[in-house]
Amino acid sequence: MAQKAAKSLAARNSAVLFRTHLISAALHFLFLALHYVFARPRSLKPYFLIAVPTLVIEYYLDRVGRPHYSEDGSLRSAGEDLNATGLTEYMWDVLYWTQGCMVAVCLFNDRAWWLWVVVPVYSVYLAYTTVMGVKKGFAGMGGGAEGADYDAPMSKTQMKKEKRGAKHGGVR
């Protein structure tokens, strides 16, 4: 059963990587063709500034997600799950957003590169919410002044004991 799951993961990863590489190559070719046809001299600097990191991300996703086969054709490693949450999901978001920005630049003009500013702004937002969430989680554990106004939820047993104590006038 585990071998079936590994084979399906390998097939899914191969299909996703092939589609990603195909779309990426087509977009890069389209952008460069439009650049040289319409001779926009200033557009290559932001292109390289933004395309190189996403090509590195694409290379990394290919390295970790590509299935490996032994010489007899059997599956040796299915690769990591490319649908995993966390950093992998964020890398896909950056890759897709960059591809969308490239389409916008091809359709409109070089000012569409400014759409890519959303990526670092979103990163800062994620970091801020993560830090504040961790800080809020630690506030209740300290027992100091910060956590004094924090009321932990009561368990069912605690609620029953409190209810029983209220019926008997506070005496057990």
Alpha carbon distance 137, 139 (integer Å): 6
Query: Which among 13-27, 40-54, 74-88, 145-159 has the top mean pLDDT?
Result: 13-27
Domain ranges of the chain: 2-117
Global pTM?
Answer: 0.67
Closest CA to 43 of 109, 95, 120: 109
pLDDT tens track for 91-103: 998 899 899 989 9
pLDDT at 147: 47
Task: Classify the C-alpha dihedral 94-99-102-108 as positive or negative.
Answer: negative
- The helix (H) or strand (E) run that includes residue 75 is strand 75-77
Contact indicator for 21, 58 with CB cutoff of 8 Å: yes
